Amino acid sequence: VNQILLLLLVLTVCAILYNKVHQVPLALKNETVDLESPEEMEEEIPVVICAAAGRMGAAVAAISSIYSNTEANVLFYIVGLKTTIPHIRKWIENSKLKEIKFKVVEFNPMVLKGKIRQDASRPELLQPLNFVRFYLPLLIQKHEKVIYLDDDVIVQGDIQELYDTKLAPGHAAAFSDDCDLPSTHEMIRSVGMQNTYMGFLDYRKQAIRDLGISPSTCSFNPGVIVANMTEWKHQRITKQLEKWMQRNVEENLYSSTLGGGVATSPMLIVFHGKYSSINPMWHIRHLGWSPDARYSEQFLQEAKLLHWNGRYKPWDYPSVHTDLWENWFIPDPSGKFKLTRPDS
C-alpha cells in the first residue's frame, strides 16, 4: 500500500511539473502580446502655418494637401492675429479638415514694434505674420524639431520625408539653396529673379560689406524651414534676427525693392554658412514670379512641394499652375474667401 501511495505521489508531482513546464511558453507568449498590444505613440510632426487675413484659403489648401498625403501624426500650429483666429477656426471645424489635429496660436504684433522699416513698394511683405518664422521657440514650446511652411505652398509628398531632413550638429535650421536645382535656373533667368546675396542686401552700406559675405553667394529661401528648437534657443537666433531688423530700421540695409526679402534678408545674414540643406524636390519655388513662365507638367508632378512665392498667387488672377493648387483648396463655409478667376 505504501509503495502504491508513494507511486501515486510521484506521478502527481510529475504531472504538476509537466503542466508548469508546458505552460511557461504560453505565459511568455501572452506577456509578449500584452506588451506589444498598445500601439506605440507616433512621434508628432509639428507644422507651423500662418493664416493671414485675405489669404486664409492659402493656409487651408496647404493644410489639406499635407493631411491628404501622409499617414504621419501631424500637429498643425495655425498662427493668426486676434482678429483672424475665429474665421480660420470655423473654416476648419466646418469642413472636412475637422479631423486634423491642430492648435490655433495668436501672434502678438507688438513684438515687432520698432523693428520694421516702413516700405511702400510691397506693403504686403510687412504684414506681422510674415515674421512668425523668427519667433518659432516662443510659439512652439514642447517640440525639438519643427517644420515651418509659408501659406502659399502645396505639399504633394509625405511630410514625414521633410521632417526626417538631417540637420548637421550645430545647425539650427535647414533651408533650400536658390542654386540647388538646375531645372529652375532657366525660370530664374527668364523672369529676372535674384538668387544671390546681392539681390537681397545693399552692398553699398558699410555694415553689409563688413559681414565679409561675397555678394555672389547663393541665397536660400526661408519659405520652407526644418528647425531645431534647442539649437535655435542656444544660439539666440531670434535675438540675432531682431538685431538686424533694428539695424535695418536705422540704416536701410535691405528693402523690398531688392529681392522682396524683408523677412529673408536678416535670415540670410544670421544663417550664413550655418544651415543644412533640404532636398531640392521638397521646395520647387518661383511659381508666383510670373503669370507666364511655367514649369513642365512632368517636373511639377515629381515635385514634393510647390511654392508660389512672388506676386502672382494661385488664388488670384493671373497666376500659373492653379489647377495643382485648386486640387487641395476647400471652399470657405462662410463664403468670405473667394477665388479670383477670369470669369468671376
Interval 45-71 mean pLDDT: 97
For residue 72, what pLDDT band results from cuts at 50, 70 and 90?
A: very high
Q: CA 294 to CA 288: how far, in whole Å?
A: 10
Cell (9 digits) for 242:
531682431
Q: ∠ CA(144), CA(231), CA(41), 5° rounding? A: 10
Share of the chain above pLDDT 70, in %: 79
Residue 94 has pLDDT above 90, yes or no: yes
Q: What is the pLDDT of residues 109-152, one digit of tens each?
A: 999 999 987 764 566 667 899 999 999 999 988 999 999 999 99
**Under CATH, which architecture does the 45-184+220-235+275-327 domain have?**
Alpha-Beta Complex (3.90)
Task: Tell me which amino acid residue 305 is.
Answer: L
Q: ∠ CA(73), CA(76), CA(78), 5° rounding? A: 175
Q: What is the pLDDT of residues 44-53, one digit of tens each?
A: 999 999 999 9
Residue-level pLDDT at 37: 34
For residue 38, what pLDDT band results from cuts at 50, 70 and 90?
A: very low
Q: CA 214 to CA 13: how far, in whole Å?
A: 88
Residue 91 has pLDDT above 50, yes or no: yes
Peptide bond into 318 cis (omega under 30): yes
Residue-level pLDDT at 119: 66
- Tell me how far apart the terminal alpha carbons of the chain are, to the nearest angstrom: 107
Q: What residues have CB less than 8 Å from 91, skipping those under 6 apart?
A: 56, 60, 97, 330, 332, 333, 334, 337
64 closest CA partner among 87, 92, 42, 83: 92
SS3 140: coil
Q: What is the pLDDT of residues 260-295, one digit of tens each?
A: 568 999 999 999 999 999 999 999 988 998 898 788
Interval 236-252 mean pLDDT: 95
Q: What is the pTM of this model?
A: 0.85
Residue-level pLDDT at 63: 98
Residue-level pLDDT at 141: 86
- Least confident range of 34-38, 216-220, 243-247: 34-38
Residue-level pLDDT at 121: 57
More confident residue, 118 or 199: 199
DSSP state of 284: B
Residue-level pLDDT at 117: 79
